Amino acid sequence: MSQVEAFSAAEVIAAKRDRHSLTDPQIDWVIDAYTRGAVADEQMSALLMAILLNGMESREISRWTDAMINSGERMSWSALSRPTVDKHSTGGVGDKITLPLAPLVAACGAAVPQLSGRGLGHTGGTLDKLESIPGWRASLSNEEMLKVLQDCGAVICAAGAGLAPADKKLYALRDVTATVEAIPLIASSIMSKKIAEGTSALVLDVKTGAGAFMSDPEKAKELAHVMVGLGKRAGVKTIALVTAMDIPLGLTAGNALEVRESVEVLAGGGPSDIVELTVLLAREMLETVGITNVDPAEMLKNGKAMDVWRQMISAQGGDPDAKLPTAKENLTVTAQSSGTILSMDAMKVGLAAWRLGAGRSRQGEAVQAGAGIEIHSKPGDVVAAGAPLYTLHTDTPAAFARAQESLTNSVTIGDLPKDGKIDRLPLVVERITD
């Protein structure tokens, strides 16, 4: 016997189309019915577009998030002796911060249950990067996650099928219906997974600038405020940093290339911007769970974070000593003129890395472990005409031409302004706590 539905999809769509607030029962029903298959994709598509165009008030966003959480399981880390804290980044070009950050925070005494995702388009995915390490496994059961957390203090893995299944369906639908940019939908998607994950504290790294999903800093701040509110209403201590993604982070974009750079950071070296943001986020994460007597910068220098990294990679089947994959072909792109690099477009660099095979255009596509870009100079550096700017890596040399097209005008080279300042975003644009 078929279930008698509490509402019809058409009346819920019409309510939001006509700029009314959805009631709690309407939201609960439409998320549950869509997850069950009682609301069709075309009906949910219409509702998502109405939300994109007409927005949601904070109560609606909170209830929508709760409904997505309630579509699946909630994880618990009560068996751990350490406080739990997680970090989420909205993604960008060269953003490999999770790789050194999770073991660093664990080395300082917290537990980091880091559920991560795969890359889509120009933004890289943490799981794709780690899968370039021979033997490393992204998929763990809840029991395996708990064991790695107990043994190592940090785990980075894929979310299980039972975690916010409504979000998995909605995410795929948003991607093909041009509704990805809706702030209520972005915020509820991210926070439903993070709240269901069961962490007691959360630090959000919301990227802004040319290479970010939210390129407008004001929109990035709005998203950060909404997510912090959702976290706090759910009892998760939440803060957000809006950080720069106008130029790439670090000196690499691509899977194995970024793992190599992350290991350099854990070894006490690496690019200064990666080190600075990793330490800054570590301090924020530790402060949220009351650990203030340990200096994360010292834990990078003394090798304790590297010890946790090696243990964590091994616990998930990886070989921390294995040689990382390298691409079969490489090509150097040189500077066309001499002077100071005044700007570098992160989006163009990200698109080039994607075209070389480091990313995917649709869910489920394979990526090349060795593909990507090494960056030899960044804004503020002085270069001579003919000096290397980028080295491109790929297994498919036919991809070089399109990658080079992406990099056209990706840098501006000229004379340094009289005040000696490069026009770019500060590393941290804003810190948001409410």
Instruction: Extract the tokens encoding 163.
Output: 């975690």
Q: Give Cβ neighbours of residue 80 (< 8 Å, ≥ 6 apart).
A: 111, 146, 149, 150
- Burial string for 71-95 (b: 16+ CB within 10 Å, else e) reads bbbebebeebebbbbbbbbbbbbbb
Catalytic residue among 16, 169, 193, 304: 193
Cα separations in angstroms, 409 against 123, 331, 365, 390: 20, 18, 29, 13
Instruction: Extract the tokens encoding 340.
Output: 């100071």
Catalytic residue among 88, 122, 129, 237: 88
Q: Is 89 helix (H, G, I), strand (E, B) or coil?
A: strand
Contact 115, 157 (CB under 8 A): yes
Question: What are the counts of helices (DSSP H) followed by strands (DSSP E) for the chain?
Answer: 16, 13
Catalytic annotation on 168?
no
The span from the CA of 49 to the CA of 354, in Å, is 28
Cα separations in angstroms, 79 against 82, 110, 149: 9, 14, 10
Catalytic residue among 28, 66, 128, 167: 167
Catalytic annotation on 295?
no
Catalytic residue among 116, 189, 200, 343: 189
The span from the CA of 336 to the CA of 307, in Å, is 43
Q: Give Cβ neighbours of residue 269 (< 8 Å, ≥ 6 apart).
A: none
Place of tokens 């070009």: 93
Catalytic annotation on 283?
no
The span from the CA of 329 to the CA of 270, in Å, is 24
The span from the CA of 59 to the CA of 70, in Å, is 16
Q: Give Cβ neighbours of residue 303 (< 8 Å, ≥ 6 apart).
A: 267, 268
Contact 210, 350 (CB under 8 A): no
Paired with 201 in beta bridges are 85, 237
Place of tokens 């800054």: 280
DSSP code at position 163 = S
The span from the CA of 156 to the CA of 159, in Å, is 10
Catalytic annotation on 28?
no
Catalytic residue among 96, 118, 174, 194: 174
Catalytic annotation on 88?
yes
Catalytic (active-site) positions: 88, 167, 174, 189, 193
